[in-house]
Chain A
Amino acid sequence: MKKKKKWPEDWQDLNPGCMVFEPGSAREYHTGSWRAERPIFDESKCIRCGVCYIFCPEGCISQNKNGYFEADLDYCKGCGICAHECWPRAIKMIEEG
């Protein structure tokens, strides 16, 4: 597979009017690299309410096959909202290291 280029190489390669025809292609960029802290989910405390999923500004929390919630660390920016809002205190932020 040809590696996707970050920028169109030549002026002829630009889409007309700089339109973008690949919806959701921002996912190519991984905002996870911005993170200073990461959320750790404790399944034993989780009641699977989905509050964390609702409040994540990145939309990067989803339910795994066991019904528990987890963050996609490719995109998680480490804002700490999920940990702050999880009322059973099932999420802890720990420093990246």
Chain B
Amino acid sequence: MSKRIGMEIALAAAEAVALCKPDVVAAYPITPNTHVPEHLSDIVAEGRLDAEFICVESEHSALSACCGASGAGARSFTATSSQGLAYMSEIIPIASSMRLPVVMIVGNRALSGPINIWNDQSDIMYQRDSGWISMFAANGQETIDMAIQAFKIAEHRDVMLPVNVNLDGFQLTHVVEPMEMPDQKEVDSFLPPFKPIATLHPDKIVSMGTLGLPEIFNETAKSKDEILKDSRRVILEVWKEWEEKFGRKYEPIEACEARGSDVLLMTLGSMGETAEVAVEEARKDGISVGLLKLKLWRPFPFEELRKAVKGCKVLAVLDRAVSYGGPGGPVFSEVRSAFYDMQERPVVINEIIGLGGRDVPVSDFRKIIEKSVQAIKTKPEEEYEIFGVRGS
């Protein structure tokens, strides 16, 4: 039976990971995600989890060790943030290319520089094209649930891809929330043992990580793309099963008061919770506004998005990262390309908010809603803006 708990979310994430019985955990400390590996090492030290905890000397080695362990056939887990994620980045696309279903929790934090330890999502966006499944939790409960789902999705025969579960640094990692923690029996019945494609063992010899010549490289890329896209099917299956077993529903895009609303906000991660408050207030004031919470970032849910915006006039995409010199925010870029072939599509505006931990109170969301309402009549001049920036 699940248990009601009140706990810091990072610790709860570690507890959830421990329920999945990883064989190898390799991680390196970095704020704001340090509590995840710290707490896992506690769990191992207390004898509650039989795992090898490798105190690596860097994040590059953390993911490398996870790749080695996963290749050997061990369920492997790591966690990091920001500079740590960037430091891993050489290995990130290799893990997916090698079909090693490592699970990673990312406590999202701004990438330097200037150096900053607070939250935005520039760290994971920098890894966008690495072939991982990528999902975002909006609160503590989703963090726990996604951490467990991640192993099942990653290790599914048709997937065998690494998964990153993102939660906003501090905003989520360091917050105490009431949550429901599944018990060991429930997790055991949900998550089957890891059956790898091959293992590094002399009883059945395999070579992993071979050299790909130009003659096969297009084909390897096609295969990566198809498998990642097809993982959507498995993700939906797993989420359905989760709902049946645990009663909590997951969708690539969660819609709140979206149907029939003139204006929609679209969020990724914890800002969805604040946005929801703003949307509720605005609706009380008679504004026709709803909210889309994007949970699945890769594979990107194009179909669901197109359905979700039917009838809406303005969609305000809220990003917490900038694609410098490019189209604005990375989510915005995806959204617009999703709409290109649609006959009737909403006006899309992009507000880049909350960079490097800048506070985004409910009142800011209200301002964005207002701007979006105006955009129904007059399209704003600028396609995107960094919200609340001084001097502009």
Which A residues are closer than 8 A to B by beta carbons?
6-8, 10-14, 16-21, 23
Given A11-B219, A11-B226: A19 in contact with B212 (beta carbons within 8 A)? no
- Do B205 and A19 touch across chains, with their CB atoms under 8 A apart? no
**B97 at the binding interface (Cβ < 8 Å):** yes
**B374 at the binding interface (Cβ < 8 Å):** no
A7 — which chain B residues lie within 8 A by C-beta?
A: 215-216
- Do B208 and A8 touch across chains, with their CB atoms under 8 A apart? no
Please provide the chain B residues from 210 to 224 with a CB less than 8 Å away from any CB of chain A in the complex: 210, 212, 215-216, 218-220, 222-223
Given A11-B219, A11-B222, A11-B226: A16 in contact with B160 (beta carbons within 8 A)? yes
A14 — which chain B residues lie within 8 A by C-beta?
A: 216, 219-220, 223
- Do B207 and A19 touch across chains, with their CB atoms under 8 A apart? yes
**B238 at the binding interface (Cβ < 8 Å):** no
What 0/1 readout, one digit per residue, does chain B (177-204) give for beta carbons within 8 Å of chain A? 0000000000000000000011000000
**B98 at the binding interface (Cβ < 8 Å):** yes
**B235 at the binding interface (Cβ < 8 Å):** no
Closest A-chain residue to B227, C-beta based?
A16
- Do B220 and A20 touch across chains, with their CB atoms under 8 A apart? no
Closest A-chain residue to B208, C-beta based?
A19
- Do A20 and B219 touch across chains, with their CB atoms under 8 A apart? no
Query: Which 7 A-B pairs give the minimum distances between C-beta atoms?
Result: A17-B99, A11-B219, A11-B222, A23-B205, A20-B207, A17-B98, A16-B99
**B115 at the binding interface (Cβ < 8 Å):** no
A10 — which chain B residues lie within 8 A by C-beta?
A: 219
State the Cβ distance, B58 to closest chain A Cβ, in Å.
Answer: 24
Interface residue total, chain B, C-beta cutoff 8 A: 22
Closest A-chain residue to B98, C-beta based?
A17
Number of interchain pairs (Cβ within 8 Å): 51
**B389 at the binding interface (Cβ < 8 Å):** no
State the Cβ distance, A66 to closest chain B Cβ, in Å.
Answer: 33
The CA-CA distance from A12 to B100 in the complex, in Å, is: 18
**B1 at the binding interface (Cβ < 8 Å):** no
State the Cβ distance, B146 to closest chain A Cβ, in Å.
Answer: 24
A18 — which chain B residues lie within 8 A by C-beta?
A: 97-98, 209-210, 212, 216, 220
Closest B-chain residue to A18, C-beta based?
B210
State the Cβ distance, A13 to closest chain B Cβ, in Å.
Answer: 8
A6 — which chain B residues lie within 8 A by C-beta?
A: 215
**B206 at the binding interface (Cβ < 8 Å):** yes
Please provide the chain B residues from 67 to 99 with a CB less than 8 Å away from any CB of chain A in the complex: 97-99
State the Cβ distance, B11 to closest chain A Cβ, in Å.
Answer: 34
- Do A21 and B223 touch across chains, with their CB atoms under 8 A apart? no
The CA-CA distance from A40 to B375 in the complex, in Å, is: 86
State the Cβ distance, B229 to closest chain A Cβ, in Å.
Answer: 13
B100 — which chain A residues lie within 8 A by C-beta?
A: 17
- Do B212 and A21 touch across chains, with their CB atoms under 8 A apart? no
Given contacts A18-B210, A19-B208, A21-B206, 14 further A-B contacts (CB under 8 A): A6-B215, A8-B216, A10-B219, A11-B219, A14-B219, A16-B197, A17-B160, A17-B209, A18-B209, A18-B216, A19-B197, A19-B207, A19-B210, A23-B205
- Do B223 and A11 touch across chains, with their CB atoms under 8 A apart? yes
The CA-CA distance from A11 to B197 in the complex, in Å, is: 18
A11 — which chain B residues lie within 8 A by C-beta?
A: 218-220, 222-223, 226
The CA-CA distance from A19 to B209 in the complex, in Å, is: 7
A8 — which chain B residues lie within 8 A by C-beta?
A: 216, 219
B206 — which chain A residues lie within 8 A by C-beta?
A: 19-21, 23
B99 — which chain A residues lie within 8 A by C-beta?
A: 16-17
The CA-CA distance from A19 to B206 in the complex, in Å, is: 7
Of A12, A13, A17, A23, the contact of B208 (CB 8 Å cutoff) = A17
Closest A-chain residue to B160, C-beta based?
A16
Q: Counting chain A CB atoms within 10 Å of each CB, which of B206, B207, B215, B216 scores highest?
A: B207
Closest B-chain residue to A25, C-beta based?
B207
Of B97, B216, B218, B226, the contact of A17 (CB 8 Å cutoff) = B97
State the Cβ distance, A15 to closest chain B Cβ, in Å.
Answer: 9
Can you identify 19 A-B contacts, CB atoms within 8 angstroms?
A6-B215, A7-B215, A7-B216, A11-B220, A11-B222, A12-B223, A14-B220, A16-B160, A16-B197, A17-B97, A17-B100, A17-B197, A18-B98, A18-B212, A19-B197, A19-B207, A20-B207, A20-B210, A23-B205
B98 — which chain A residues lie within 8 A by C-beta?
A: 17-18
The CA-CA distance from A23 to B203 in the complex, in Å, is: 12
B160 — which chain A residues lie within 8 A by C-beta?
A: 16-17
